[in-house]
Amino acid sequence: MGNTARGSEEVNRGPWHVAVLMGGWSAEREVSLMSGNGVADALESRGHRVTRIDMDRDVALRLAEAKPDVVFNALHGVPGEDGTVQGMLDLMGLKYTHSGLVTSVIAIDKELTKQALVPHGIPMPTGTMVDSESLFSVDPLPRPYVLKPVNEGSSVGVAIVKDDSNYGNPIARDAVGPWQEFDRLLAEPFIKGRELTVAVLGDQALAVTELRVKSGFYDYDAKYTDGLTEHVCPADVPEDVAQRMKDLALKSHRLLGCKGASRSDFRWDDEHGLAGIYLLEVNTQPGMTPLSLVPEQGRAVGMDYAELVERIVGEAL
DSSP letter (8 states) at residue 10: P
The DSSP secondary-structure symbol of 48 reads -
Other CB atoms within a 10 A radius of the CB of residue 280 amount to 21
Residue 231 carries which side chain, given as an amino acid letter?
A: H
> Is 151 known to be catalytic?
no
Q: Which of 52, 194, 244, 263 is catalytic?
A: 263
CA distance 225 to 232: 16
CA–CA separation, 153 vs 297, rounded Å? 20
- Does 4 have pLDDT greater than 50? no
pLDDT single digits (tens) 186-236: 999 999 999 999 999 999 999 999 999 875 544 445 444 556 789 999 999
220 is catalytic: no
Does the active-site annotation cover 9? no
**Domains identified in the chain and CATH numbers:** 108-123+192-303 (3.30.470.20), 128-189 (3.30.1490)
Catalytic-residue membership of 143:
no
Please enumerate in sequence order all residues whose Cβ is within 8 A of that of 200, keeping only pairs 6 or more positions apart, or say none. Answer: 206, 249, 250, 253, 258, 261, 262, 263, 264
**pTM for the predicted model, two decimal places:** 0.89
Instruction: Convert the pLDDT of each residue in 140-178 to its tens digit.
Output: 999 999 999 887 654 567 899 999 888 999 999 999 999
Active site residue 224: yes
